[in-house]
Amino acid sequence: MIRTNDKEYMRPKNLAKEEAIRSIALQIISEEGLENLSMQKLAKAANISPRTIYIKYENKEDLLVKLFIEEVLGTYEKAVLENFDPEMGFDEGMKRLWLNTFHYLKNNKPSFSLIQYGKSSPLLNNAFQAKNIRQGEFFAPIHVFLKTNIEAGLIPDLPHDVLRALLFSPIQDLVAEYFDHLDRPIQIINEEMILTSCEIIIKGIIKSEKQ
C-alpha cells in the first residue's frame, strides 16, 4: 500500500518542490561546498519546512545518494562516453575519455563534489546498492576498451579497480586543481595540460607492460 505522504508527494505541486529541493541542494554544494549542506539550510533556502524534505529523504546521506543517482550518474556517463568507441586505439580512446571528463566536471561542480565525496565515503556503494547496480553496468564501453587493450598486450592485466585508479583518478585530481585555480591569477589547467598529462599516464602504463 502506498502511504498518504507518498501520494501527496506525487502531486505536480510537490514534484515541483522536489525539483526545487534538488536544484537548491546542488547550488549550495556548488557555491558553499558539500560540507556546508544541511537539511536545515536546504529547507530555509527552498522556503519550505524541514518536514517536507524528510518526507522524501531520510537524512543528508540519503539525499546525497539520491542526488547522485538521479542528477549525476546517467548524465556523467553520457558525457564521458560522448564520441568514444571502445574500438579506438588506446591513445585516442584515453584522450577522448579524459577530455570528456574534464569538460563535464569543470562545468558541473556539484557533480564533481558528489563524485569526490563518494571516494571518501560509502556514497557510491550505497547509490549502486540502492539501484542494484553491479560493476560493469555503467561505463560498460570503458570496460570493453580496457579488456581489449589487455588482451592485445598493450596494458597490464590488473583488476579493473586498480586500472581505474591508475588511469582515471589523475583526471579527477586535475579537475580539483582547475577549481582551486579559479581564484588564482593564472589558470594552469586547460585542454593542453589535460592532454599532456594524459600522454604521461599512457606512456607510463604501456612502458610498465613492456618491461
Radius of gyration for the alpha carbons in the chain, expressed in angstroms and rounded: 20
Are residues 8 and 102 both part of a single domain?
no
Q: Give yes or no for residue 148 having a pLDDT over 90.
A: yes
Give the list of residues 6+ apart from residue 163 with CB closer than 8 angstroms, or none.
Answer: 146, 155, 156
Question: For the domain that residue 15 is a member of, what is the CATH number?
Answer: 1.10.10
Mean pLDDT of the chain: 85
What's 86's domain CATH number?
Answer: 1.10.357.10
Cα(87)–Cα(101) distance, integer angstroms: 19
**For the chain, what is the domain count?**
2
Q: Is the distance from CB of 26 to CB of 67 less than 8 angstroms? A: yes
Predicted pLDDT at 210? 42
* Residue 14 shares a structural domain with residue 29: yes
Average pLDDT over residues 44-58: 87
173 in the same domain as 114: yes
Taking the C-alpha atoms of residue 121 and residue 138, their distance in angstroms, rounded to an integer, is 20
Residue labelled with grid coordinates 587493450: 149
| pLDDT for residue 56 | 85
Q: How confident is the model at residue 154 (pLDDT cuts 50, 70, 90)?
A: very high
Dist CA 147 CA 28 (whole Å): 39
pLDDT at 11: 47
What is the structure's pLDDT at 135? 57
Question: So what's the pLDDT on residue 156?
Answer: 94
Indicate the pLDDT class of residue 155, thresholds 50, 70 and 90: very high
More confident residue, 17 or 92: 92
Distance in angstroms (rounded) separating the CA atoms of residues 94 and 166: 12
DSSP category for residue 35: G
Residue 109 CA to residue 9 CA, distance in Å, equals: 28
Residue where one domain finishes, among candidates 17, 41, 57: 57
Nearest to 70 by CA among 17, 104, 22, 105: 22
Q: Domain range holding 114?
A: 60-210
Span of 10-19, 45-54, 58-67, 96-105 with lowest mean pLDDT: 10-19
Q: How confident is the model at residue 23 (pLDDT cuts 50, 70, 90)?
A: confident
The residue type of 136 is G
